[in-house]
Structure 1
């Protein structure tokens, strides 16, 4: 098993990790109800996807 000859400095370690960051999810607007939704997913408010009904939602009063 390989072992490092020198200690990796904090600066070098952190430079290597600069690309490990979370990205903001892409958001869009539902074409049916106007709610904010994640792209390529069924709307949680009305159940539509790309202008068509994908899931029937029960109306709660």
Structure 2
């Protein structure tokens, strides 16, 4: 039989644990030349500028 938890975990502690499971979406910016979305500080994959 598995042991039961001895102490209650606070909601703050639970939130810290769950924060690591958050999905990190890439930050996208519009290309100044063609207007397509691209990663910042990278060349545009569509117009190569």
Give the aligned partner of residue 35 of structure 2.
34
TM-score, normalised relative to structure 2: 0.57
Pick the structure with more strand per residue.
1
Count of residue correspondences = 41
Higher relative contact order (CA 8 A, sep 6+): 2
Alignment of 1:41-52 (within 5 A): 41-48=42-49
Unaligned runs of 5+ in 2: none
Deviation at 1:29, TM superposition (A): 0.4
Q: CA RMSD in A?
A: 2.9
Gaps of 5+ in 1: 1-5, 49-61
